[in-house]
Amino acid sequence: MKEIEKRKILVDPGQGPIRVDKYLMDKLSDLSRSKVQKAIKKGAVVVNDKTVKPNHILKPSDIILYEALVSEYDGKIIPEDIDLNIVYEDESVLIINKQADFVVHPGHGNYTGTLVNAIAHYLGTDIPTMSGNNADRIGLVHRIDKDTTGLMVIAKTDYAMTFLADQFSAHTIERKYVALVWGQPEPLEGTIEGNVGRNPVNRIQQIVFPDGDQGKHAVTHYKTIKPMYYVSLVECQLETGRTHQIRVHMKYKGHPLFNDVRYGGDKILKGTVFSKYKQFVHNCFKLFPRQALHAKSLGFVHPETKEFMLFESDLPEDFQQLVDKWNSYLDGRKKVLDEDQD
């Protein structure tokens, strides 16, 4: 059964110049970037009664109308033949290296094309769910955001599901991420602790409740791998696994993830904004149109062998290109400083 989804959005009065596709990716957080862009190209997005292109620049108080034909979700998982980057597989577990712009499980606006749909096709229907009857959690014991890349473990048996879920609950799973953040954390290595919960003002965001009166206990250990003047490459190790935990904790510390639209990292937050630097950063945004976060390593005790297994993954190509671009900028800056001292 099909239905038309209609949304009317008033651009915030204080909103700075921003592309309509980027703005909608934030506001329509339940939709993937590709679906937003397809809707725009099909003429399903109208600004001030006129169809626009994805690069249309919005102004404060613009009125956006979004219409799209969507499926009415009946809770059933449709197996779909979607390529999976499989790192490891045995009779109990499946380890995948998730690509960007890949929603993990079905939800409003994303009823098909998700990781769960792909798992259902690859493994068949006789695989476990988190609660035994919750179809949209088929095989899943954890998840990562749709634009975060990296390692995930999928359970293939009921026993593996329970065994792995217990490790996540006990916080004994080893999970390390690599992030590019704005600024340079001080100290360079440390721990961020603060309850994380839904923002009561902006419901699509999570925030830190430092007094611990709301939200859930959350702990992130971080270590700066390489400071690069205006950004830093940081390794984050999760002790807990709350929604958007690294993104929220790093923002709370004053270092949002690079190009994280939802948490303000899509603006130039460090450095004097002169023409060449501004263009450089915007080129970086264009090269890497999502939050700079990658699930680098995943370690757990295997359900059957009871041995600890550790998996590592390299940065995806575009993330590495982003880091290389900032390294080149850093080298160029050092060269200028050295010449000035001569």
- By annotation, the residues acting in catalysis are 145
Angle of CA points 27, 33, 35, to nearest 5°:
95
Q: In this structure, are residues 302 and 93 in contact, taking their beta carbons and an 8 Å threshold?
A: yes
Phi-psi map region of 43: left, alpha, beta (phi>0 left; psi -120 to 50 alpha): left
For the chain, strand residue ranges (E) read 2-10, 18-19, 45-47, 50-51, 57-58, 63-71, 86-89, 93-98, 149-155, 174-182, 189-193, 195-198, 206-209, 219-228, 231-238, 293-301, 308-312
- The CA distance from 244 to 298, in Å, is 17
- The CA distance from 119 to 101, in Å, is 16
